[in-house]
Amino acid sequence: MRVGEAKIKNTLSGFTKRGIVDSTEKKAQKYYGLNSYSEDLPELTAFTAAVMKKKTKKGRDMLEKEIMKSGSFKFAALYGVFTGQVKAEADLLLVGTTGPKRLARCVKFLESMAQNEINYVVMDSEEFMQRLYSFDWFVKEILEKDSVILTDMLTKKVTAATTQKTLVRSFSNIRK
């Protein structure tokens, strides 16, 4: 066991004793989750937010750089493991083009960062837009929940175009 692992185990043990974290064991693997009813949770959340505010930008930039160099993407979002949604269908959504070797290298890097298997979806712009307009549950979930959008050259255009059409309709109704 490495020094970092021992520190994490001691910290989790302390949080479990204080009731901040709940733990369960399944198939010889231990899982931890926040106890949302803990009295200490607001203080811990404030502290964590202050620390993460400094580190998040650097970490996000590193992930974004690695993902974007693996292909030409018009939309990229981190979800699932990266945002605490452990039961999510996918951890990474990429819209654009990439080569299999470059994508495999990127996924391997992300798996080493997350220390977990990464489920990813790659689709072309046409399929993504079709799913977006048909209110596909998968695309809707990623856009509406706490996903980390790394790049978005598709939905911003859709939102702007929809807003413009709505304004034109509104003004044309006023003239009548």
The pTM of this model reads 0.58
Q: Based on the domain organization, do 105 and 60 belong to the same domain? A: yes
| Averaged pLDDT for residues 59-68 | 78
Identify whether residues 36 and 57 lie together within a single domain: no
Residue 163 has pLDDT above 70, yes or no: no
For residues 36 and 58, state if they share a domain.
Answer: no
- For residue 3, the enclosing domain spans 1-40
Looking at the structure, tell me whether residues 34 and 98 fall in a common domain. no
Q: What is the mean pLDDT of residues 86-97?
A: 88
176 has a pLDDT exceeding 50: no
Average pLDDT in the chain: 79
List 98's β-bridge partners, or say none: 71
Encode burial over 18-31: b for 16+ CB neighbours within 10 A, e otherwise. eebbeeeeeeeeee
Which phi and psi angles does 78 have, rounded to 5°? -95, 140
124/147: higher pLDDT = 124
Question: Do 95 and 151 share a domain, yes or no?
Answer: yes
